Amino acid sequence: MMRNVFLRNFATKKGAVKSGGTKSAKFKNTSMKNEKSTDSSKYDVMLRALKGRDIPPPEWTEEEKQQHFEIGRKYNSMTSLRHNALMKDLQTKIDLKWEAINALPTPELRAEALVEDLSLVPMSRGFPTWTPPIPGFKRFRED
């Protein structure tokens, strides 16, 4: 006795009965068409499945729109202040560097100071920490 199984496929309607291992003629034609289709069409189908549906934008009242505008304006002004402070700090460092280079006594030393040092930092070089190192503590052991 063969049991009927209800399956849902792209080529068959919901609730269609599929028996054994045979395919319907409609499914065979569809599979042959899919073999001839381009990769871009398969990519488009996959992309639509991943994207899902677009959510409609919420309706804002005039008061909410004004509040969002004020929040954006405040954010813009604060990020501009932060950017300007960073740029001022960077320009101060550049100015101090050039003052130090120009304060060197000879042109040879000034020329040497302008040469970039591209050597690697030594592995034994320490770095600043919030707390002093624990004597005898090694984070990575060679066991």
Higher pLDDT, 14 or 89: 89
Handedness of CA 43, 44, 49, 55 (dihedral sign): positive
pLDDT digits (tens, 9 = 90+) for 90-141: 999 999 999 999 999 999 999 999 999 999 988 888 888 888 878 877 766 6
What would the pLDDT profile of 37-72 be if each residue is shown by its tens digit?
567 888 888 888 888 788 888 999 999 999 999 999
Burial environment of residue 143 by CB neighbours within 10 A (0 to 12, 13 to 18, 19 or more): exposed
Task: Find the mean pLDDT for residues 61-88.
Answer: 97
pLDDT at 138: 72
